Structure 1
Amino acid sequence: MTNKIANKNNSITQNHTVKSLLNVEGYQKRFREVLGSRAPQFMSSIISAVNSNAALGECEPNTVIQSALKAAILDLPIEDNFGFAYLVPYYNSKKGYKECQFQLGYKGYIQLALRTGMYRNINVIDIREGELKSWNPLTEELEVEFIEDEKEREGKGVLGYAGYFSLLNGFEKKVYWTVDSLLNHATKYSAQYRKYKSGMWSDNLDDMCKKTVIKNMINKWGILSVEMQTPNQQLLEAIKADQAVIRNEDEYDYVDNDPGEMIEAEVEIEDSTKVNDDFIVDNPDLPWNNSDGEDNKSF
C-alpha cells in the first residue's frame, strides 16, 4: 500500500511545490497514520523549513516530503536548531536538479540509542588543544584533562573528538578520532565535500564530526538486533536512511556517495549486526539472558 501511494504521489509532483503536495490526500493520510493528531503541526514545520531555506524550495518536492516523513516515522523534529534531523538540499548532477537528503544529526543518534533502553550513557565531545594527555586505541585508555574555564576552552583549537557509551550490562566503549581522520572520512564518503568542499561537512563541521563518531560506534559496537524491540528497529532504520535521497518511503538513493564505498559501508553494518546478534543470544552476562532473576527480563 505504501509503495502504491508513493508511486501515485511521484506521478503528480511535477509543477507542484512542497506546500501544494502536502494538500494531496495521499500525503496527508500517511502523515496522519504516522503522527495522528500531531500531523498538521508537523506538516506546518515542513513548510516553515522550506520557507526558511530557499535551496529546499528548489528541490524536487517529493524528496523533501519523503525526508520529512522519515523524520516523522522516527519521531524526530526537523527544526535545524534542535539538531536531531535535517532536510539537506543536494544538487544531483546526474538528474540535473536539486533533491533533498535526509540526514540524522548526532543528537538524533543519541536519542534513538537511548530509546532502546539498553544504553546507560552515550556521549561525544570535542577535545581541545592541551586537553589530550594520552590515548591507547588497543586498551581504549583515554586520559583527558578538560579546561575548566569555558571562555579559555573555546579559544583553543579542536584536536579531535572522543565518543563513549555504556550499556546496562556494564559493557563500555571509548573511541577517539582526530580532526584529520574525520576530514579524511568526509573526503572518502562525501562527493560534495571532496569535489567542492561544500555541504554539511563544510557548513556544520562540528555536528558532522560528532555524528560520525557516534554513528561509527553504534555501527561497530552497539546492539543492532532486528529481533529485539521497536526502538532498536528505529535505530537500524535511521542508519539505513541517513544521508539518502528518499524518493519512495522505503527506497534509498545515496547520491552523495560512491557506489563502491556504499557497498563497503552496508557490509560493515550487516557484519556488525550479525556479530551483535550472536553477542545478544550467547552472552550469559547480558541481563535478558540471566536466568537468576525475572526482573532482568523487563527490558
Structure 2
Amino acid sequence: MATNSSLKNQLIEKGENTVNIQETMLKNLMNSNDVKSKFTEVLKDKALEYMDSVITLVNADKELMECEPGSIIDACMIAVSLGLSVDKMLDYIWIIPYRRKANFSLGYKGYIQLLLKNGEYKAINVIEVYEGQLRSWNPLAEELDIDINSKKSDAVIGYAGYFEMLNGFRKSVYWSKENMDAFSNNNFSKSDLRWGSDYKAMAKRTVMRNMLSKWGRLSAEMQKAYSEDLNTDTFINGN
C-alpha cells in the first residue's frame, strides 16, 4: 500500500483536485491495517459500521474533507474511546475543521451521555429559558425559579442547567442571554464559527461545562473528554 505522501504525489500528477485527493487519502488511511485494528480493538464487530459513519461525516462536510486525513482519524478515535457516535444527527460530538486540521469537540449532549454513564448522576440537563418563564434567580444562594408553562414568546432570555447526584447533591445555574453573549465575545474568536452556526448548542455546552467544572464529580473518562474539549477551544481561539 502506498504511503500517504507517495499517494498524494501520484494523485497530484494525475491532476486530481484537492477534494478528490483528500477523499482518496482518507479512504486509503481508513483501509490500512493499522487504523482498522485501532477501531476494532475498541468497537469489536461494530468497527466497520463506525468507520463507515466517519466517511459519511466527512463526505457531508466540504471543509472537513479538506483536513489532513490523519487528524480526522485522531479526532474520531477520541470519540471512539469515549463510546460516542460521530453521527451529526445525535449531536454528541463535533469534529471541527480549522486550518486543515480536524479537532474533537464535545457537545452538551455528549457531556450528558458521559455523566449518566458514570453512574453517579440521577439527572442532568440544560435548557433554553424563554421570555416569561423566569420567575427569579438568586446568584448568591443559587436559587432558580422557572415556570415552563409561562412562556410568552420564542425569545430566549437565558440558559439554565441542573444536575442531581445519587447522593442527593443538587445544583442549579442560570446564565442570562447578555452574560452568554459577553462570555462568547470575550473568550472566542471570530475564527470559531460554532457560535454563528449553532449558538444555542454552544450556549448549552458552556453552561454544562462551567457547571460541571465547578461543582460536578468527573470520572477519569469525563476528565479526558473535558481536557480534549478545552484543547480544541484553545487551538481555535488561541491562533
Asked if TM exceeds 0.5, the reply is yes
Residue 13 of structure 1, CA deviation: 4.3
Measure the CA separation in 2 of the matches of 1:54 and 1:13.
Answer: 20
Runs (4+) of structure 1 exceeding 3 A deviation are none
In the alignment, which residue of structure 2 is the partner of 1:176? 174
Q: Secondary structure at the match of 2:195?
A: helix
In the alignment, which residue of structure 1 is the partner of 2:221? 234
Give a deviation string over 1:252-287, Cα, whole Å, max 9, x none. x9311338xxxxxxxxxxxxxxxxxxxxxxxxxxxx
> Structure 2 regions of 5+ residues with no counterpart?
9-21
One-letter amino acid matched to 1:257: N
RMSD value over aligned CA atoms?
1.9
- Of structures 1 and 2, the one scoring higher in RCO (CA 8 A, sep 6+) is 1
Give a deviation string over 1:195-233, Cα, whole Å, max 9, x none. 35x511111111111111111111110113xxxxxxx22
Establish whether residue 163 from structure 1 lines up as the match of residue 161 from structure 2.
yes
In the alignment, which residue of structure 2 is the partner of 1:270? none
Q: 1:21 aligns with which of 29, 48, 56?
A: 29
Measure the CA separation in 2 of the matches of 1:203 and 1:244.
Answer: 20
| Maintained 8 Å contact 1:22/1:43 | yes
| Maintained 8 Å contact 1:13/1:61 | no
Measure the CA separation in 2 of the matches of 1:221 and 1:41.
Answer: 37
Measure the CA separation in 1 of the matches of 2:139 and 2:33.
Answer: 54
One-letter amino acid matched to 1:104: L
In the alignment, which residue of structure 2 is the partner of 1:86? 94
Residue 62 of structure 1, CA deviation: 0.9
Residue 63 of structure 1, CA deviation: 0.9
| Maintained 8 Å contact 1:124/1:213 | yes
The percentage of counterpart residues that share the same residue type is 38
Q: How many residues are treated as equivalent by the alignment?
A: 220
Q: Secondary structure at the match of 1:126?
A: strand
Aligned 1:24-63 pairs, distance under 5 A:
24-63=32-71
Q: Secondary structure at the match of 2:202?
A: helix
Measure the CA separation in 2 of the matches of 1:13 and 1:220.
Answer: 44
Residue 136 of structure 1, CA deviation: 0.2
Residue 88 of structure 1, CA deviation: 1.4
One-letter amino acid matched to 2:213: N
Q: Secondary structure at the match of 1:256?
A: helix
One-letter amino acid matched to 1:209: A
In the alignment, which residue of structure 2 is the partner of 1:254? 234
Q: Secondary structure at the match of 1:156?
A: coil
In the alignment, which residue of structure 2 is the partner of 1:135? 137
